[in-house]
């Protein structure tokens, strides 16, 4: 499971010399003296980047800073001198001194190779940032590379649609896209996936299933649709960190009104969703647990406006839970979007 890689500069140097013996490198490539270049990700200074410019004017950074900027993990192959970054289902590999890369199994040419400098690996910033879907801009007045990570997408039904993301995450430098659709089922969500893919998200938070349960859809149909949704998003958004959010309970009165609805069915489906998340190595956020009555398991009265839809207090609780999980190592863009 991908977690934040927050290493100190000293640890990064130790790791480099343990994993990459000095004799395995080619002679150091010439690098221009840095002219006080800085790198900013979503308005925050990127630590341990140690940016430099090459004679060709390309900005390169210490390999570890890419992990911090985009919440990626990495592997080093000492036999092929190959560095591979991984996030979600996506991966990008670079070879020492080779002006090419392998992006999701496709060999492509690059205008700057990965090189050795000051006893560490330095990688091309623009190429890698754009590979992760980020926007890269150069601010000449301050010699700053400004990187804006791809948006965070919330995908679901009317419960998501009513989530005022810009309000509850107002202090976040990351952009949010709300793709909630009133009345949508898991079958209907399969027809909306092009909207999600077209947004090129860095993260996707999914909450679906309430309308399926209300309509009496069988568990195996719901899970088949959900699996199809995850298959398509995994292929179409390979670098997106995907989080499955639990199906929320309803009030006791609402559940008694419709014989298709029961806590047993909701809990059963949530157990299946948790297993699906674990199998795919995705995150699972049990939002329903935080909004339900600990004795009855039903949605708390203070958290609903009609027994199904959520109050502003509930959305505040939802957003706080995601923040807590992010602080504990949950996926987030650019070192945390809170």
Q: How many structural domains does the chain have?
A: 2
- Same structural domain, 294 and 326: yes
79 within a domain of the structure (yes/no): yes
* Cα–Cα distance for residue pair 140/117, rounded to 1 Å: 24
pTM strictly above 0.85: no
Of the candidates 132, 148, 164, which is a domain's last residue?
A: 148
Give the pLDDT of residue 66.
Answer: 95
Q: Say which CATH number the domain at 188 has.
A: 3.40.50.1110
Q: In which domain, by residue range, is 225 found?
A: 152-335
- Same structural domain, 111 and 195: no
Alpha carbon of 174 to those of 132, 185, 338: distances in Å? 15, 28, 8
Of the candidates 122, 148, 174, which is a domain's last residue?
A: 148
- Same structural domain, 214 and 323: yes
Q: Say which CATH number the domain at 87 has.
A: 3.30.457.10
- Same structural domain, 62 and 139: yes
2 within a domain of the structure (yes/no): no
- Same structural domain, 226 and 135: no
Of the candidates 133, 148, 163, which is a domain's last residue?
A: 148
Q: What are the per-10-residue average pLDDT scores of the chain (338 residues)?
A: 36 43 46 72 93 93 94 94 94 96 95 94 96 94 94 97 95 92 98 97 96 98 98 95 96 94 97 97 95 96 97 96 66 44
162 within a domain of the structure (yes/no): yes
220 within a domain of the structure (yes/no): yes
Give the pLDDT of residue 36.
Answer: 85
């Amino acid at each position: 499971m991908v977690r934040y890689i927050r290493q100190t500069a000293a640890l990064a140097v130790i790791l480099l010399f343990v994993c990459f013996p000095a004799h395995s490198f080619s002679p150091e490539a010439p690098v221009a003296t840095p002219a006080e270049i800085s790198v900013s990700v979503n308005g925050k200074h990127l630590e341990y980047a140690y940016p430099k410019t090459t004679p060709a004017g390309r900005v390169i950074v210490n390999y570890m800073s890419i992990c911090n900027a985009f919440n990626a993990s990495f592997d080093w192959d000492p036999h092929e001198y190959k560095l591979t970054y991984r996030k979600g289902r996506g991966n990008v590999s670079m070879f020492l001194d080779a002006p090419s890369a392998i992006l999701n199994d496709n060999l492509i040419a690059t205008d700057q190779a990965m090189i050795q400098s000051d006893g560490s690996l330095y990688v091309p910033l623009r190429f890698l940032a754009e590979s992760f879907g980020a926007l890269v801009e150069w601010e000449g007045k301050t010699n700053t590379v400004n990187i804006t990570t791809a948006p965070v997408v919330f995908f679901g039904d009317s419960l998501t649609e009513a989530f005022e993301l810009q309000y509850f995450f107002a202090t976040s430098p990351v952009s949010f896209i709300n793709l909630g659709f009133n009345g949508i089922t898991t079958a209907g969500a399969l027809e909306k996936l092009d909207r999600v893919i077209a947004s090129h998200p860095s993260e996707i938070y999914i909450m679906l299933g309430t309308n399926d349960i209300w309509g009496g859809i069988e568990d195996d149909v719901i899970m088949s649709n959900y699996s199809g949704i995850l298959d398509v998003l995994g292929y179409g958004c390979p670098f997106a960190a995907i989080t499955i959010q639990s199906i929320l309970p309803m009030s006791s009165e609402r559940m008694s009104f419709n014989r298709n609805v029961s806590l047993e069915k909701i809990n059963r489906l949530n157990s299946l969703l948790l297993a699906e998340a674990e199998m795919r190595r995705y995150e699972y956020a049990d939002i329903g647990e935080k909004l339900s009555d600990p004795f009855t398991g039903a949605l708390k009265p203070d958290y609903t406006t009609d027994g199904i839809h959520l109050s502003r207090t509930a959305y505040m609780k939802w957003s706080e839970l995601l923040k807590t999980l992010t602080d504990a190592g949950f996926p987030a863009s650019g070192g945390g979007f809170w």
